[in-house]
């Protein structure tokens, strides 16, 4: 889903919806899904109260991360250089030295590694500051971005634009791991654009409306990120992408190669009341047309959740004996919240209205798991 654009002002102002889902709510999901969203609490930025000012929120986060890294010194790295010097440094380039008769002038061509602050990573951040400063609504924040841009230039970071692919192959070591939040914020600054169903000038992949794997993954990660960030760590424990084990009594030699894994989207434990909820997100309608009635729940999803819950019974973890299951679907203007109890397990079918306001989405997600 990620892509880079050169001019973002028109994209954010003109692009309002994908289908019936407001763009501001998709960006809210993106922030929920990203690790950078966890910076919002420390920055005291209320994303739910300002859902239409997403560029300003991302710019605020980016500025805070850049200022933090400048205070603690930006990362340096070694870069290879070729230069004609009046003393030997590194390795001598004999061919260039002889060809240009440099020794006659008391000089020598050298190839050496130089420690520099003008790294691809720092250039990428500087370009992100320049880009997002053009689309933020706050004049004060735009000035702050430009000031940091100038500050990086004075420190020696050039204006040569680094491609995202060049930054993506960069590896973080223990000495520069604090650069990761800053680079993540820079990625968001460059990607403040989303495809729509309208014709435009940008060359982007346009998935079919009934086949949006990137949007399904975004919904799953957005819900997990929301719960992980909003729920109190003293009361709740949130796990995402956890693999459950089958309770196997006996097996053949080749079954391990073909037996499917059980991997949940989200598991939430309420430590105060001692209860566990397994959440499986689905990016389609909660009901479908049945053989003998107009609407019916999707039987495959019910069987899947039933297997999740019953297969974990009798383990050393007593929470598994009474675990609840939640199948969570997005919707627009629709509200479904039904449940059934089977063999001491509650299975709930609920929707979250992505056409609602950001505050309403927050309330729906909390109410669904009983976190009022």
84 in Cβ contact with 91 (< 8 Å): no
pLDDT tens-digit series, residues 280-306: 998 888 778 777 777 788 889 999 999
Residue 266 sits at φ, ψ, to 5 deg, of: -145, 140
3 state DSSP class of 324: strand
Higher pLDDT, 75 or 36: 75
Phi-psi region of 370 (alpha: psi -120 to 50; beta: other; left: phi over 0): left
3 state DSSP class of 49: coil
279 in Cβ contact with 264 (< 8 Å): yes
For the domain with range 213-368, which CATH number is right: 1.10.3470, 1.10.10, 3.40.50, 3.40.1350? 3.40.1350
pLDDT at 144: 93
pLDDT tens-digit series, residues 57-105: 788 888 888 998 898 888 877 778 788 988 888 898 988 988 889 898 8
- Where in the chain is CATH 3.40.1350? 213-368
pLDDT at 46: 54
pLDDT tens-digit series, residues 341-372: 999 999 999 999 888 877 788 889 999 998 66
3 state DSSP class of 175: coil
pLDDT tens-digit series, residues 99-138: 889 898 889 999 888 888 888 888 999 999 998 998 888 8
Question: For residue 259, which of 313, 315, 307, 203 has the smallest C-alpha distance?
Answer: 307
Helices 139-155, 54-71: axis angle to 10 degrees equals 30
Q: How distant, in Å, are the alpha carbons of 24, 25, 26, 30, 70 from that of 356?
A: 10, 8, 11, 16, 40
pLDDT at 5 over 60: no
Question: For residue 77, which of 110, 133, 46, 119 has the smallest C-alpha distance?
Answer: 119
pLDDT tens-digit series, residues 304-326: 999 999 999 988 889 999 999 99
pLDDT tens-digit series, residues 212-265: 677 788 888 889 888 887 888 889 999 988 888 888 889 999 998 999 888 899
Does the model's pTM come out above 0.75? no
335: confidence class by pLDDT, cuts 50, 70, 90: confident
**Cα torsion angle, 305, 309, 311, 316, sign:** positive
19: confidence class by pLDDT, cuts 50, 70, 90: low
9: confidence class by pLDDT, cuts 50, 70, 90: very low
Give me the count of residues in the chain: 372
pLDDT at 12: 40
Q: How distant, in Å, are the alpha carbons of 19, 66, 77, 121, 319 from that of 171?
A: 38, 19, 12, 10, 40
Burial 230-254 (b: 16+ CB within 10 A, else e): bbeeeebebebeeebeeeeeeeeee
């Amino acid at each position: 889903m990620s892509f880079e654009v050169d001019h973002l002002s028109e994209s954010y102002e003109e692009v309002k919806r994908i289908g019936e889902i407001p763009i501001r709510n998709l960006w809210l999901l993106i922030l929920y899904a990203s690790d950078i969203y966890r910076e919002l609490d420390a920055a005291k930025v209320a994303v739910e109260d300002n859902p239409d000012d997403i560029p300003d929120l991302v710019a605020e986060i980016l500025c805070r991360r850049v200022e933090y890294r400048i205070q603690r010194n930006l990362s340096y790295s070694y870069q290879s250089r070729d230069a004609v010097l009046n003393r030997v440094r590194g390795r001598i380039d004999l061919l260039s030295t002889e060809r240009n008769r440099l020794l006659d002038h008391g000089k020598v061509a050298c190839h050496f590694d130089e420690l520099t602050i003008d790294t691809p990573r720092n250039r990428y951040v500087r370009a992100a500051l320049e880009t997002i400063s053009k689309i933020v609504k706050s004049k004060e924040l735009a000035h702050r971005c430009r000031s940091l841009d100038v500050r990086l230039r004075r420190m020696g970071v050039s204006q040569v634009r680094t491609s995202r692919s060049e930054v993506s192959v960069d590896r973080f070591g223990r000495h520069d791991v604090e650069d990761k939040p800053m680079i993540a914020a820079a990625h968001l600054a460059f990607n403040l654009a989303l495809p729509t169903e309208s014709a435009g000038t940008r060359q982007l992949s346009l998935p079919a409306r009934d086949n949006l794997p990137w949007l399904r993954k975004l919904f799953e990660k957005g819900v997990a990120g929301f719960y992980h960030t909003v729920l109190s760590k003293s009361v709740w424990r949130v796990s995402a992408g956890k693999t459950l084990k089958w309770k196997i009594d006996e097996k053949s030699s080749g079954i391990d190669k073909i037996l499917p894994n059980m991997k949940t989207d989200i598991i939430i434990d309420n430590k105060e009341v001692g209860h566990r909820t397994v959440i499986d997100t689905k990016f389609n309608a909660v009901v479908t047309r049945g053989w003998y009635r107009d609407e019916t729940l999707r039987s495959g999803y019910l069987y899947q959740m039933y297997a999740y819950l019953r297969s974990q019974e009798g383990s050393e973890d007593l929470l598994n004996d009474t675990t609840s299951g939640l199948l969570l679907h997005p919707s627009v203007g629709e509200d479904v919240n039904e449940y059934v109890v089977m063999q001491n397990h509650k299975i709930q079918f609920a929707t979250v209205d992505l056409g609602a306001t950001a505050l309403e989405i927050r309330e729906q997600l909390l109410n669904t798991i009983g976190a009022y």
